[in-house]
C-alpha cells in the first residue's frame, strides 16, 4: 500500500442546478445525489486514479447516514 489516510467519513449532498442562482433569485434543481465524501477520502480517490494503492482508516458514526 502506498498511502493510508486517516480522516472523517462524510456524506456529500450534490445538487445540479438548471442555471447559476443569483442573490435575488434561486435556481431549479435538475438533479440530486448523495455520495460518500470528505477531504481525506476525496484525496485518496484522486491518488488511486493516479495509480496509487490506497487505504482509509475512519470511524462509522451512529447517525442516520451511518
Mean pLDDT over residues 30-38, rounded? 93
Give the pLDDT of residue 17: 98
Whether residue 11 is contained in a domain is answered as: yes
Whether residue 36 is contained in a domain is answered as: yes
Q: What is the pTM of this model?
A: 0.68
Whether residue 63 is contained in a domain is answered as: no
Structural domain that includes position 34: 3-57
Whether residue 51 is contained in a domain is answered as: yes
Residue 64 CB contacts under 8 Å (≥ 6 apart), including other chains: none
CB 63 within 8 A of CB 13: no
Whether residue 65 is contained in a domain is answered as: no
Domain count for the chain, please give it: 1
Whether residue 42 is contained in a domain is answered as: yes
Burial class of residue 41 (count of CB atoms within 10 Å of its CB; 0-12, 13-18, 19+): buried
CB 41 within 8 A of CB 56: yes
Amino acid at each position: 500500500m502506498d498511502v493510508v489516510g486517516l480522516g472523517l467519513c462524510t456524506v456529500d449532498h450534490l445538487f445540479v442546478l438548471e442555471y447559476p442562482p443569483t442573490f435575488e433569485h434561486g435556481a431549479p434543481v435538475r438533479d440530486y445525489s448523495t455520495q460518500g465524501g470528505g477531504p481525506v477520502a476525496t484525496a485518496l480517490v484522486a491518488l488511486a486514479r493516479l495509480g496509487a494503492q490506497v487505504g482509509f482508516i475512519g470511524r462509522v458514526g451512529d447517525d442516520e447516514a451511518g
